[in-house]
Structure 1
Amino acid sequence: MFDDSTLVEDRIERLHERLGKELFRVLAPVDVTAWKSPGEPVDFATAAEANYDPISSGDRWGPAWSTWWFRMKGTVPAEARGERVHLRVDLGFEGDWAGNQSEGLAYTTAGTPLKGVNPMNRLIPLTGEGLPATIAKAGEQLLDDSGAVELLIEAGANPNMGDYMNNPTDLGDLSTRPDTPVWTFGGADLVVRNESVWHLWLDVEVLWGVLKEQPKDSTLRATLLRRLEEAADVVDAQGIQEGADAARAHLAPVIASSAGNSAQIMSAVGHAHIDSAWLWPLRETRRKVARTFSNVLALASDYPEFTFACTSAQHYAWLKDGAPALFARVKESIAKGQWHPAGGMWVESDTNLPGGEALVRQFTVGLNWMERELGVAPTCTWLPDSFGYTGALPQIARLSGMTTFFTQKLNWSQTNTLPHHTFWWEGIDGTRIFTHFPPVDCYDSIVSAEEVFKAERNFKEKGRAKRSLLPYGYGDGGGGPVAEMVERARRFADMEGAPRVEFDSPDGFFDKAREEYPDAPVWSGEMYLEFHRGVYTSSAELKRGNREVEAKLAVLEWLGALATERGIDYPLAEVEELWQRALLLQFHDILPGSSIHWVNREARAEYEALRTDIETLIDSLLASRAGGGTGSVEALDGDSGQAAALAGSEVTVVNPSPVTRREVWEHSDGCSLIEVAPLSSAPLSALEVSPTNPVTCETRGSDIVLANGLVEVVIDANGLVSSILDLDAGGRELLAAGQRGNALSVHPDFPSCFDAWELQHQYKRSETVLEEALEVKVVTKTALRACVEVRRTHGDSTFTQRITLDADARAVDFEVHVDWREKHRVLRVGFPLALNARTDRSEIQFGHIDRAIAKNTSWQEAQFEVSGHRWALLEEPGYAVAFANSQTYGHDVRVLDAAAADRRGGVAFGYTLLRSATAPDPEVDLGEHTLRYSLVCGADLAHAHAAGLRLTQPLRETAHALETSAVASIEHREGDTLALIDAVKPADDGSGDLIVRLHEAEGRAGIAHVRFASAPSKVRATNLREKEAPEVAPGLTACSEDPSLYEVSMHEFQIVTLRVARA
């Protein structure tokens, strides 16, 4: 017999096409009228009362971001009312990206939300079981006795922004969008889906897909081909409608054949990744949540075995506020065990950029809300799309009650691939969390045969484990799973030659995976994404806003702790709302700067509003503790004698940071050198000290020399730093021979893809160093401070740099004010150092990470741009230099080129200050910026931390006359490890207890001593949710000779949360 397989295969493809054209029977047209909302979206009641005009297929509607309401009326013929009838809607759909174009939500005439519509989910069931039955139980009928139906659809004319991730567009904001339609209405009709044909179409699709994955000469491939051929013969002979059931009978045995004992098992979990903002604004995400959740609920009512996992407490909160009926149905689905809240976080945040306490609050605020409103506290950390994962995350997640971690983003890395799919991820402190990457390499599978077999081939644990997770459902802009995906999964339940697919939940999968693979390998440290490195810098104003808001919230909570200590009311609910607003802005496409102009504009405005709102509460707390206003005094440490002495006194200095501050401080009365204890306040006169090392400023030829007995800085005629001497280290020169420090450079920035996301290595091959200065002048020259100002230009941009040296300071401070007018350029500042450092020690949340400076491996070479928080420390044996910054995250450290180094070599440290991508926001970063950074000579870890705090948590001036001592502080004793307090706050439960959070900052096990302002009645170690958790508790001992002092035994980088009941 001749080989006719190619002919038969072509025939099967044709059969699938023919079946796809016969899936629906049209019953009747639908009369459609439309009304365009004149501004932002309106509520249902307003839309229902509006005047609607006829609209026909082919009519255009828009413009971008406008909202239209479509009223659809039709009548189901009597003979079809016993069948399952659908309203089929086409708003003008294009392609298959469900959440990045026009989409809508259907309502009954009573205002009940029914179901979303998008290009991959166009049907609204009107009769039969499932959604219509659910609505009927609630007292509504979708069809009246005559078969008439009337629905309203709220539709968003959202533009397809996916075309503009590399190209600028004016579609990204209301203020710039063209006032022209963007979509063409496709019409609507009443249809019946031919169930037999639909199921045959899916049978053929799945088996055809399995066939293509088999070797050409395999028996299974031949068997599948012949069974499909037999089905085609039946259809050809009997017709599609008449022969569908008979054709399916030929295919049923192969679908029901056993997969065998060695088959991999894939846990199919329905999912809808909804970016809280990205190529659409926050207001649109609120509607996306309702559309997607309604679709999921409809699907769940049709398939009892279907399961769905969904993250982000913020999204549920939006649903509760905007669609309470849907929210109630979600809670019912949770109770049934079909819907599984996951993630536990307020939003799926970035994890590299938020501070440690903010990452803690992502979990605690999110989990508290979910437990309170949904009745569950998830245990799976579900973060599929963030741009790399900090090494602090395992400990933060575990201390929040999470037990597992899921992502897929690391498969986007462009150089190296992690060697595991299932493993234990170990954080910087040694905490481990059971982790899984789905080998399907996505979070939005459609459960195609191609994807299922790809996952089988990819799975790196083959032979050791059999289970993997298969997340499926349209995502990014929402949409979620559809019936076809569930049906494909059903067919993969137990089929010869294919992996087994079973419906499961995240917890169900992880329980089974951990049971079968308890000795999974360990990956230690951060999970660096070798991609999207530009997000450490893009949208600098958002980075600044984030740092400042985090710092202000810390001040607010510390003052709240002081207030509650004295019985003053603390606005817990208001503060939680402030945190929720700040946490939303840390979503992984907002804070990283990878969103459209509308999102960035609103985020900048929200940061400004947060600053104002937090400061209002801070001032209120200060006034409350001071007795109501300037000159009315109350001593926060309870000493009324001090309070009386302070009445009518001068400016009060507030140190809201957990370290002693000795620095030159500018205030309303001038400039002073002061020393102030941690977390305390006092009148200025009590804090002023005389400088031991005053500053001098002199001219030496064409150079300007700043010196204070500890450090000498030489600034050349072009305003570049030509020398930094550490006079306390024998006059050691810090700059590499012949090199200049604080040199600004501008580089071309044309990534090959993902404009705002990507900073690619080639930018380093071309640079313009800003060497020429318009002006160099001394602007401050006192015994306390000397400052030199330098002005430069490049293209249409202007730069004003300031170089400052203070009395008694080992830090040289730098500031650059930029009016940035470049496009596709990156601005950097560099310091070539005569320092034989081997590692870049960068601060991350609750600790630090050491990264190799030399690029000896592909893993090291791929880290040519890395993220860090407030400081970096470069150290050779016996000597170190620290860099600190006010808002910058992206930096690099490299070995100096041979031409730039002396015989001992050296390293170059550089901050990436600004970028100027043009997509998806064509104006991102244009405008004025002020960036601050410092170089600290002869530094250690404590100096680095103090330098970072000085730039990010400034001393505060208040007119309220207050004197406070710390309610809790670290009392460092010889031999103690370096510990830092991260938060002092009232307990979340309103009990009046004090919460003190600290961490070991040195990276070694040791003892820390915590002193309280007064002896507590009880101190307990808790988890991050402020609940006792003895399995993670440190050694905690009250000192017998001093009841206000406690000894805390800590392991490296351990986070410790103390709950303090006051006496």
Structure 2
Amino acid sequence: MLDERIAAFLAERLRPALYPLRIPLDVSAWHLPGEPVPAQVALRADHEPFAVGDTWGRPGSTSWFTVRATVPERWAGRRVEAVFDLGGDTVTRPQALVRDEYGAPLRGLHAPHPDPVLVAERARGGEAVHLLVEAGVTDAPCDPPPLRLRQADLAVRDDNVWRLLHDIRTLHRIHRSLPRDAPRAIRIRDALERALDAVDPRAVARTARGGHAVLAPELGGADGALPAAYPLVAESPPVPLGSLPLHEAVRAVARDLSTLADLAEEYPGLVCVAPDVQHYAWMKQHEPQLFERLRKMIADGTWVPVGAMWAQSATELAGGEALVRQFTHGRRFLRAEFGTDSDGVWLTDVRGVSPALPQIARAAGAHWMLVSRTDRPARHQSFRWEGIDGSAVLVHVPGRATDPHGDEGSPVSPLRTLHHPDRAALEEAARLADPHGPPRHGPRPLTRAWHPTHPAAPGPDAEPAVRGPLDLAPHTGEFTSQARTKRGNRTCEALLHEAELWSAGAAVRNGTPYPYDALERIWISVLTQQSHGILAGAAAARARQDAEDVHHDLGRRLTRLIHRALGARGDAVVHNPAPFARREVVLLEREAVLLERADGPGTDQDGVGPAGLPAVAQVLADGRCAVLAEAPAHGTGGVGIALDGTAPVTARRTQDGRHILDNGRLRVTVDGDGLVRSLVDLATGRDAIAPGWAGNLLELHRDEPVTDPARTLALGSERTRRDLTRAEGIELVAAGPLVATVRISRGNGRSVFTQDLTLTAGSPSLVVDTEVDWRERDTALKQTWPLDGPAGHSRCGIPFGHTSHPPADGAERPLQRWIHVGAAHWGVGFASDTPHGHDIVRRDRDDGGTSTVVRHTLLRAPRGPDPYADRGAHRFRHTVRPGATAGDAVEDGYLLALPLRPGTAAPAADPLVSTDHPDAVVESVKLADDRSGDVVVRLYEARGNAVRAALTVDFAVAAVCTTDLSEENAEPAPHAGSRIPLNLRPFEIRTLRITRAQPDEEPPGA
């Protein structure tokens, strides 16, 4: 009975009495179809009269409303607000940004029940009100009806009614959270009954103060001011860039940040944060008045920049150097624009965090991490999270600010966050945060949001509570959804690596100006597209298409930068951007020059061309020419070299329709349906494929998640699995001596699958190229490889290292570049050219043996948010290497991600940088961000072992320093001329800053 009485009292008595005085606003409108325009354009536009009840709003359009009024003289001393109801419902949700008469943002109007706009806390009477409202519809069905403006009034708020309204709501919520017979529940129930009786329905405004006095003892005398006992933080809601196109995301950020700024000014003591640095950059570019308002609040301590990452990245899918740049670009912006920095990481609404993040965050200067989720339980937790190199960060998962106390009001979290706050949430939070403490007026600083010295934080010597990835919510679908976006991101990361490497070499050797500005702009664009709303595969159609267009444009720009440093594409040499030396077959587009160097197409004898270089060339059916090439790590080498002891690859077809490929290192048997029946490592004679089973099997699984389809992988049972075991066509398209390829075609009535199984001369790996014309719904495509024997371990590559997992546990995990599965002395390595999910399962065989099945999840077809995201053509490249070590798998991952680049320049004498140990892997080479001309080399230990190595540079060295990831906090490092000794811990990331000696000075240690 009490619940029904309170609901009726609030709806029929208090809310109607909240605004006792009101006058209509004078409204005029300008309706703009298509993309939005700046406020200055809207201010100069011709607005037509518009009345309450008129219709407005179509998806993709903007309506600009100009509202005017004059505050009546009799309202002097009262709180005056502009009250709007733009229409809409829970399906069609209008959003609006209220601006002042000059176009500066004031606050957002968030559907479905926007807060009124404060006109005057204590009106003088006679003030002119002139507001500009920018309104649009972002969430709507395909063809929604137009909206109707329901209300646009200037009104006086009765503060006594307002306080009583939130007193009752807060105590009622606490009462419902307690056991009915709890002592405090009984007290609250009695107080609520007496408060309702104290208010006269015929004179609510006059008697509301009496109801407040009845409830005050249970609220500790709180009057709406935020208490000082614990920090209360209003966090800008995560703007899902993937759910909105870029221009709408910018508008959403402006609405959210201006709303927080307005609330912070109205509620002294509230602290506001915005974890994404890119949001500040957007405001600086598009809303400079709001940006200056935020800058002042930061200086006053009301707003705290946190997070330090440029965008809240999908850390499990972004590359290692990209994660580094998230921190360097984010911190650089905070220091340059606000004169401040952040020593922590703040992540909002992410579902999983890569185990590589602790060591990257620590190397970037962060010591703590806060992860807030709107769907997490309200109770907080704090723990130490240890990265793969042993470094740890303190992680805090805060409770929600509206978490009620227990019976006697035991405190909850030392930090509570509010997502998408409004006045009602702040009123309730103020009453719930510390009901027995004194109210606190005036602003207060936020002491590092959550500081490691807080008593609730685990000590630095405490045992780590978490190792490995942070799994905060189901998200295994993220690893595969929207494969084109993931491929575009991986391509841009690889091209950025090349552009920096070759541009640094051209600057050091030839004095070519280094493209600092161009690379910085491209990096920022890539980092923005790595937002977890996009890279995780949950983007809406427009945002997904925008991301693909951005990746395509950045690819062209990066290719131009590479050609600027190396010269145009050619066929005289190959440039190797990978950190490992390589000798492999490459395919060149132009065959004429190569045919001059060889005896003829398809020859299996060494020939000598006119340049005097021995060469073997094989012309393929598509007109390309295959030659053998060799290049050092990060260096340039020759093409058309002699086999020189490397056995040629052969291919033959048996009478039973099988194809056997053999290059002296690997023998592959492909049956008449294109399945790999045998994959033998000839050095040991061991077959990787389980007896009686077949590799390269494509499986179609039902994938029908109930909620959040893009992020949730929900495979059906084995009964619903469909195996594509029948080939519609199989042919031998290349038979050696350099390339042997078997092409298989399949179909299932909707989608078409074409695969090339390729073995090249001297290669220890089978290359599998899979082309798919994907036309499925609610289906996942897996490529499976059954390995002989139970796996003793599985390792999965992550940025700057790898993680180990229980063998064959069946868990879906992201595959960044490589995985290694095997026992103590023998294993199989898999590498991929694009991220996707994978799992490893164990299955018993009829012969009593056990098979370990590696399954790559290549494609999905969820129904939302973009059901057409992955329709169309896709291409995947994998390598399978039997007899591989974990180090071999690391190498294969880099070689596949960073292919040889044919060029016309003459080979350089030596690579710009090189290491003498395979476990010391150079991740990036660039010039210093401060434009000093220093060379920055970032490397790491890749195998999980302590190593002693040396880095050699091909230029005169004046000084060497070890720095953090931001290339700061330099500490001198020893060097002997151009040789720099290194002692690396397992998985340690090392950033070296190398100052070049001037031509006329003797380098120290020479």
Q: TM-score, normalised by structure 1?
A: 0.85
1:62 to 49, 57, 69: 57
Taking the aligned partners of 2:668 and 2:277, their CA distance within structure 1 comes to 51
Structure 2: stretches of 5+ with no match in the other structure:
592-624, 998-1006
Give the equivalent residue in structure 1 for 2:821: 874
Structure 1: stretches of 5+ with no match in the other structure:
1-6, 133-142, 161-170, 172-176, 441-446, 475-480, 624-628, 631-648, 856-862
Listed one character per residue, the Cα deviations across residues 594-622 of structure 1 (whole Å, up to 9, x for unaligned) are: 01100111111111001001111111222
Deviates more, 1:986-995 or 1:523-532: 523-532
Please tell me whether the aligned partners of residues 273 and 303 of structure 2 are also in contact (alpha carbons under 8 angstroms). yes
> In the superposition, relative to structure 1, how do residues 111 and 455 fare at CA in structure 2: closer, same or farther (>3 Å)?
farther
1:438 to 398, 409, 414: 398
Give the equivalent residue in structure 2 for 1:827: 781
> In the superposition, relative to structure 1, how do residues 58 and 959 fare at CA in structure 2: closer, same or farther (>3 Å)?
farther
1:491 matched to 2:471? The reply is: no
Taking the aligned partners of 2:789 and 2:915, their CA distance within structure 1 comes to 32
Taking the aligned partners of 2:68 and 2:735, their CA distance within structure 1 comes to 80
Amino acid at match of 1:876: A
Give the equivalent residue in structure 2 for 1:104: 96
> In the superposition, relative to structure 1, how do residues 207 and 964 fare at CA in structure 2: closer, same or farther (>3 Å)?
farther
Query: How many residues are treated as equivalent by the alignment?
Result: 952
Give the equivalent residue in structure 2 for 1:1045: 979
> In the superposition, relative to structure 1, how do residues 495 and 152 fare at CA in structure 2: closer, same or farther (>3 Å)?
closer
Residue 553 of structure 1 and its aligned partner are, at CA, apart by 0.2
Please tell me whether the aligned partners of residues 382 and 457 of structure 2 are also in contact (alpha carbons under 8 angstroms). no
2:131 to 141, 151, 162: 151
Give the equivalent residue in structure 1 for 2:879: 934
1:737 matched to 2:671? The reply is: no
Give the equivalent residue in structure 1 for 2:108: 116
Amino acid at match of 2:404: V
Listed one character per residue, the Cα deviations across residues 178-207 of structure 1 (whole Å, up to 9, x for unaligned) are: 4x6443322311111111110111112222
1:723 matched to 2:667? The reply is: no
Q: What RMSD, in angstroms, separates the aligned Cα atoms of the two structures? A: 2.9
> In the superposition, relative to structure 1, how do residues 251 and 750 fare at CA in structure 2: closer, same or farther (>3 Å)?
same
1:661 to 562, 582, 587: 582
Taking the aligned partners of 1:1029 and 1:452, their CA distance within structure 2 comes to 49
What SS does the corresponding residue of 1:203 show, helix, strand or coil?
Answer: helix
Listed one character per residue, the Cα deviations across residues 702-723 of structure 1 (whole Å, up to 9, x for unaligned) are: 1111111111111111111111
Deviates more, 1:507-516 or 1:983-992: 507-516
Give the equivalent residue in structure 1 for 2:603: none
Give the equivalent residue in structure 1 for 2:120: 127
Deviates more, 1:268-277 or 1:713-722: 268-277
1:1019 to 944, 956, 960: 960
Amino acid at match of 2:802: H
Please tell me whether the aligned partners of residues 743 and 770 of structure 1 are also in contact (alpha carbons under 8 angstroms). yes
Give the equivalent residue in structure 1 for 2:416: 470
1:185 to 137, 149, 169: 149
Deviates more, 1:578-587 or 1:560-569: 560-569
1:917 to 858, 862, 867: 862
Taking the aligned partners of 1:813 and 1:911, their CA distance within structure 2 comes to 15
Amino acid at match of 1:15: F
1:779 matched to 2:713? The reply is: no
What SS does the corresponding residue of 2:744 show, helix, strand or coil?
Answer: strand
> In the superposition, relative to structure 1, how do residues 688 and 1013 fare at CA in structure 2: closer, same or farther (>3 Å)?
farther
Listed one character per residue, the Cα deviations across residues 836-872 of structure 1 (whole Å, up to 9, x for unaligned) are: 31222110010001111244xxxxxxx6211121110
What SS does the corresponding residue of 1:340 show, helix, strand or coil?
Answer: coil
Please tell me whether the aligned partners of residues 965 and 991 of structure 2 are also in contact (alpha carbons under 8 angstroms). yes
Taking the aligned partners of 1:529 and 1:300, their CA distance within structure 2 comes to 30
Please tell me whether the aligned partners of residues 830 and 889 of structure 2 are also in contact (alpha carbons under 8 angstroms). yes
Taking the aligned partners of 1:530 and 1:907, their CA distance within structure 2 comes to 27
Please tell me whether the aligned partners of residues 379 and 398 of structure 2 are also in contact (alpha carbons under 8 angstroms). no
Residue 239 of structure 1 and its aligned partner are, at CA, apart by 2.6
1:889 to 814, 821, 836: 836
Residue 45 of structure 1 and its aligned partner are, at CA, apart by 2.7
Give the equivalent residue in structure 2 for 1:323: 287
> In the superposition, relative to structure 1, how do residues 455 and 828 fare at CA in structure 2: closer, same or farther (>3 Å)?
farther
2:10 to 10, 13, 16: 16
Please tell me whether the aligned partners of residues 650 and 737 of structure 2 are also in contact (alpha carbons under 8 angstroms). yes
Residue 9 of structure 1 and its aligned partner are, at CA, apart by 6.0
Amino acid at match of 1:489: A
Residue 495 of structure 1 and its aligned partner are, at CA, apart by 2.3
> In the superposition, relative to structure 1, how do residues 155 and 8 fare at CA in structure 2: closer, same or farther (>3 Å)?
closer
Please tell me whether the aligned partners of residues 394 and 458 of structure 2 are also in contact (alpha carbons under 8 angstroms). no
> In the superposition, relative to structure 1, how do residues 1045 and 504 fare at CA in structure 2: closer, same or farther (>3 Å)?
same
Give the equivalent residue in structure 1 for 2:355: 391
1:677 matched to 2:632? The reply is: yes
1:698 matched to 2:678? The reply is: no
Residue 1029 of structure 1 and its aligned partner are, at CA, apart by 5.8
Amino acid at match of 2:734: T
Taking the aligned partners of 2:785 and 2:947, their CA distance within structure 1 comes to 35
What SS does the corresponding residue of 1:1053 show, helix, strand or coil?
Answer: coil
Amino acid at match of 2:74: E
Residue 764 of structure 1 and its aligned partner are, at CA, apart by 4.7
Please tell me whether the aligned partners of residues 84 and 114 of structure 2 are also in contact (alpha carbons under 8 angstroms). no
Give the equivalent residue in structure 2 for 1:166: none
> In the superposition, relative to structure 1, how do residues 343 and 154 fare at CA in structure 2: closer, same or farther (>3 Å)?
same
What SS does the corresponding residue of 2:690 show, helix, strand or coil?
Answer: coil
Taking the aligned partners of 2:775 and 2:73, their CA distance within structure 1 comes to 67
What SS does the corresponding residue of 1:712 show, helix, strand or coil?
Answer: strand
Give the equivalent residue in structure 2 for 1:991: 932
> In the superposition, relative to structure 1, how do residues 456 and 910 fare at CA in structure 2: closer, same or farther (>3 Å)?
farther
1:371 matched to 2:335? The reply is: yes
1:1056 matched to 2:999? The reply is: no
> In the superposition, relative to structure 1, how do residues 454 and 33 fare at CA in structure 2: closer, same or farther (>3 Å)?
farther
Residue 418 of structure 1 and its aligned partner are, at CA, apart by 14
> In the superposition, relative to structure 1, how do residues 503 and 525 fare at CA in structure 2: closer, same or farther (>3 Å)?
farther
Please tell me whether the aligned partners of residues 1020 and 1028 of structure 1 are also in contact (alpha carbons under 8 angstroms). no
Matches within 5 A, 1:286-685: 286-409=250-373, 421-440=381-400, 447-448=401-402, 451-453=403-405, 467-474=413-420, 481-496=421-436, 505=446, 507-511=448-452, 513=454, 517-518=458-459, 521-522=463-464, 523-529=466-472, 531-566=474-509, 567-623=511-567, 651-667=572-588, 668-669=590-591, 670-684=625-639
> In the superposition, relative to structure 1, how do residues 499 and 295 fare at CA in structure 2: closer, same or farther (>3 Å)?
closer
Taking the aligned partners of 1:1052 and 1:80, their CA distance within structure 2 comes to 71
Question: Greater relative contact order (Cα 8 A, min sep 6): structure 1 or 2?
Answer: 1
Residue 1047 of structure 1 and its aligned partner are, at CA, apart by 1.8
Taking the aligned partners of 1:192 and 1:250, their CA distance within structure 2 comes to 25
Deviates more, 1:11-20 or 1:353-362: 11-20
Residue 822 of structure 1 and its aligned partner are, at CA, apart by 1.0
Residue 350 of structure 1 and its aligned partner are, at CA, apart by 0.6
Taking the aligned partners of 1:697 and 1:410, their CA distance within structure 2 comes to 58
Taking the aligned partners of 2:486 and 2:234, their CA distance within structure 1 comes to 34
Amino acid at match of 1:154: E
Taking the aligned partners of 2:134 and 2:279, their CA distance within structure 1 comes to 19
Listed one character per residue, the Cα deviations across residues 683-717 of structure 1 (whole Å, up to 9, x for unaligned) are: 435x5543522111111121111111111111111
Identity in percent? 34
> In the superposition, relative to structure 1, how do residues 408 and 680 fare at CA in structure 2: closer, same or farther (>3 Å)?
same
Residue 486 of structure 1 and its aligned partner are, at CA, apart by 2.4
Amino acid at match of 1:553: L
Give the equivalent residue in structure 1 for 2:768: 814
What SS does the corresponding residue of 2:253 show, helix, strand or coil?
Answer: helix
Listed one character per residue, the Cα deviations across residues 40-68 of structure 1 (whole Å, up to 9, x for unaligned) are: 10122322232333333343323212111
Please tell me whether the aligned partners of residues 572 and 903 of structure 2 are also in contact (alpha carbons under 8 angstroms). yes
Amino acid at match of 1:929: H
